[in-house]
Amino acid sequence: MSGHSKWKTIKHAKAATDKKRGALFTKLIREITVAAKTGGGDPDGNPRLRTAIDNARSGSLPKENIERAIAKGTGDLDGVEYVEVVYEAYGPGGVALMIQALTDNPTRTVADVRAKLTRGGGNLGTSNSVAFMFDRKGQVLVPANGMDEDAAMEKALEAGAEDFVKEEDTFIITTAPADLHAVNSALTIAGLKGEQAEFAWIPKSTVRVEGANAAALLRLIDTLEDIDDVQKVDANFDMDVSEMAQA
User: Angle at the Cα of 92 (from 197 to 26), degrees rounded to 5?
Assistant: 35
- Interval 84-104: pLDDT, tens: 999 999 999 999 999 999 999
Whether 246 has a pLDDT exceeding 80, the answer reads no
- Interval 174-222: pLDDT, tens: 999 989 989 999 999 999 988 888 889 999 999 999 999 999 999 999 9
User: pLDDT category, 1, cuts 50, 70, 90?
Assistant: very low
Residues of the chain with CATH 3.30.70.980: 83-132+205-246, 133-203
Residue 185 and residue 43: Cα distance in Å, rounded? Answer: 13
CATH number of 4-74: 1.10.10.200
Query: How large is the average pLDDT for residues 105-126?
Result: 96
Whether 21 has a pLDDT exceeding 80, the answer reads no
Residue predicted with more confidence, 243 or 192: 192
Residue 87 and residue 85: Cα distance in Å, rounded? Answer: 7
- CB-based contacts of 177, cutoff 8 Å, min separation 6: 136, 137, 138, 199
Of the candidate CATH numbers 3.40.640.10, 3.65.10.10, 3.30.70.980, 3.30.110.60, the domain formed by 83-132+205-246 belongs to 3.30.70.980
Of the candidate CATH numbers 3.30.420.40, 3.30.830.10, 3.30.70.980, 3.40.50.720, the domain formed by 133-203 belongs to 3.30.70.980
DSSP strand pairing (163-167 vs 170-175): antiparallel
The overall average pLDDT reported for the chain is: 88
Residues of the chain with CATH 1.10.10.200: 4-74
pLDDT (0 to 100) of residue 3 = 52
Q: By C-alpha distance, which of 207, 205, 210 is closest to 244?
A: 210
Query: How large is the average pLDDT for residues 121-133?
Result: 95
The pTM of the full predicted model, rounded to 2 decimals, is 0.84
pLDDT (0 to 100) of residue 145 = 86
> Taking the C-alpha atoms of 14, 106, 79 and 56 in order, what is their torsion angle to the nearest 10 degrees?
-20
